[in-house]
A and B are shown apart, each in its own frame.
Chain A
Amino acid sequence: MSPMLWQLYDRALFLLPPAFRHQYSQQIAQTARDAAADHHSLVDSFSLFSDLALTTFRENARMFSEQISRRPFFYQALCLSAVAFVLALGGYAVMQQTIRRAANQPQQQMADDTVRKYMTYDRMESSCSPSCTDLSTSLQPFTIAYDENLKAINSDAVLSDAVPTLPAGVFGNARRFGSNTLTWQPRPGVRLAIVVRHFTGAHYSGFVLVGRSLATAEQGESIARWSALLGWLSIVVLLTLSATVFSRFQRPQQPA
């Protein structure tokens, strides 16, 4: 083997578990060099490295297993903490989805009602009476109508004194599937749960957008997130305390 490969081999010995490495690494290196120097060499570099890789895996697994048998309660607590984490994460995901889906109401019903109304309209009247909803502050549901050219033709809401415009792709999906339900962030800090429906009326055709601020829903999500985190941390603390108490009363392991 080249000096570089020997250097690599010596460094790879550091992957062995500390106690085993301390006891045998010099002997392993010496034996490997003896084998390589022998006239009838028993080993080549590939078999030396594969043997070392196998030994590293085997000895680390053995060390891990010994540690578990020495302190079983802590490893049980660790496993239970991991299970509790997955459960807390799953619980949070269910709560978050429930809250987010609930935030799509009453927009879906309002969008259906508005589409039915617009299909019979022959003239659009301004809905901003007495004043338009400010999307940056209001929690009220709002409605915006766009024509087929994506130009706003009616709105009861504004953002920075203008009717906000959606990305064209949202309308494309609403046209293709009849409806599109999504979260829209017209500007940082303003997040809306919106429903976009395509309609074709006698005098007008285009899109109806009904939306509502997600601020309340996001507060609910935040509470759910913190509840899941605190619940999980409480379980971890309880498990750690239990493991500590049980370890004190554990009888020393008898040698096999």
Chain B
Amino acid sequence: MLETPLSPAVFSILLALADGEKHGYAIMKESAAQSPTRKMGPGTLYGSLDRMVAAGLTEETGTTDDQRRRYYRITRNGAAALNAEADRLRLALSALRRKGIRPEVSA
């Protein structure tokens, strides 16, 4: 099982897969859109995916496209982990707001 809080790579992969199955580059592209300052390379992506598949957070769909790209989807455990992380972040954001730090950030 992966530790919580989730690492930035695991969190952004789960977030990328939250709205449907994707292949490696699509995940990478969405991760880059989520956090442009923290780009993930292909090696890091597949290393993280390997651990996430082993931890039961994601799984291969078994489908490939004409370029033989493999597709991945989020599992029920992965969705639970993403929700738990989202709750943790929400609480952290509330605490920040209460202290008047970064008040311009909206939920």
Contact = CB atoms under 8 A, between A and B. Distances in A.
Interface in B41-72: 41-47, 49-50, 67-70
A42 B43 contact: no
A75 interface: no
Nearest to A256: B1
**Residue among B1, B23, B41 with most chain A CB within 10 A:** B41
A47 B41 CA distance: 7
Given A47-B39, A256-B1, A42 B44 contact: no
Given A35-B28, A38-B29, A59-B47, A43 B41 contact: yes
Interface in A41-57: 42-43, 47-48, 50-52, 54-56
Contacts of B70: 27
B50 A24 contact: yes
B24 A31 contact: yes
Nearest to A47: B41
A67 interface: no
A58 interface: yes
B69 A30 contact: yes
A55 B47 contact: yes
Nearest to B51: A62
Nearest to A16: B43
A35 B69 CA distance: 13
Given A28-B42, A51-B41, A55-B43, A34 B25 contact: yes
A32 interface: yes
Contacts of B43: 28, 51-52, 54-56
A27 B29 contact: no
**Residue among B1, B46, B68 with most chain A CB within 10 A:** B46
A137 interface: no
27 contacts: A23-B50, A24-B49, A24-B50, A28-B42, A28-B43, A31-B23, A31-B25, A31-B45, A31-B69, A32-B42, A34-B69, A35-B42, A38-B25, A42-B29, A42-B39, A43-B39, A48-B41, A48-B42, A50-B41, A51-B40, A51-B41, A52-B41, A52-B42, A52-B43, A54-B41, A55-B44, A55-B47
Given A28-B42, A34-B69, 16 more contacts: A27-B24, A30-B25, A30-B67, A30-B69, A32-B42, A34-B25, A38-B25, A42-B29, A43-B39, A51-B43, A52-B41, A52-B42, A52-B43, A55-B46, A55-B47, A58-B47
